[in-house]
Amino acid sequence: MRILFESLKDLFNSENEFFNYARSGKRITHIALAIPLVIIFIFGSMIISGIPGQLLVDYFDLGKPVIEFYNLFVSFGILIIVVWLWVRFFEKRSIKTLGFTGNNAFKKYLKGFISAIIMLSIVLLLMAAFGKVGFQENPKPLNLNLWGIFLLMLIGYIVQGAAEEILVRGWQFQVIGARYKPWLGLVISSVIFALLHGTNSGVSALAIINLLLFAILLIIFILYEKSIWAACGWHTAWNWSMENVFGLKVSGSEGLGSMLNLTAEGPNYITGGDFGPEGSILTSFVLFGGMIVLLSLNAKKLKINK
């Protein structure tokens, strides 16, 4: 336990390279701005993307997959641009300093991507052990159209996952941690992240706890890697595989089709209920396990360096 604590202390050192990126600019955003700007950036992006989006719905016969892709790709793409504009022209630094740094970017992204799929698979295996995981009756047959939807949604989730990581952890957590204390950045950014998802359908107290754990796990991942590449990959794979591989709800949202078309039956605290696996206590254990693995890997790295 002491080793894990020392590892945690090392990661949350205010001199961590990830925080030094924020200090490379002309100014670091004050906490009084860093908190409300997250909301402003999100709603501003929604308004900007919503106008042409509504026109497309009103004047073109677009299917649900195209609309969903638009929401993921365009809305969150605009969010990335908005954050970039703030960082570039107010803080006077490159978007790379939000954590898009270091070598082997694709390898790090893939590491996060695969890690998320493994962790979600463990959650489902535990659900099968404590509840019942089965297959939907009369699922949509796999065909070229459905494979096209899977690919389209993957592209959309790549942008969506990156946007949320850039905004909440790459920027907000980073600037608060750099200007004040890392733990303060963790608390504020994690609470805001959980609250932003707290109005989704089927949300529960356990789902909110898991959203907090989700945020903390990715912060540890970021500080361990000293970049957000792996966190972006993890976030994308978690959402995409839950919807388009396993066929389960993502934070209360119904998917458009999946490869496996799974169903989960049992008590809500096991299955997550209408919120999906993110509302399950089994997910809590797996997220905790992920934190312990990362802290252990960092402790091993520290031992080697000594």
How many Å apart are CA 228 and CA 233, to the nearest integer? 9
One-letter identity of residue 260: L
pLDDT in tens, 134-177: 777 656 666 667 788 889 999 999 999 999 999 999 999 999 99
d(CA 85, CA 62): 31
pLDDT of residue 304: 74
Percent of the chain at pLDDT exceeding 90: 60
Tell me the mean pLDDT in the region 39-68: 76
**% of residues, the chain, pLDDT over 70:** 91
Tell me the per-residue pLDDT of 234-270, one tens digit each, with 9 for 90 and over: 999 999 999 888 888 888 677 667 778 787 888 888 8
Least trusted range by pLDDT, from 77-81, 173-177, 244-248, 285-289: 244-248
* Angle of CA points 234, 86, 38, to nearest 5°: 55
Per the structure, the complete domain to which residue 192 belongs is given by: 2-305
What's the chain's average pLDDT?
A: 88
Of the two residues 201 and 109, the one the predictor is more confident about is: 109
**Exposed/middle/buried for 155, CB within 10 Å: 0-12, 13-18, 19+?**
middle
Tokens of 128: 């099968």
Q: How many domains does the chain have?
A: 1
Alpha helices for the chain (secondary structure H): 2-11, 17-22, 31-59, 64-70, 76-89, 105-130, 144-164, 174-179, 182-197, 205-225, 229-240, 268-271, 281-305
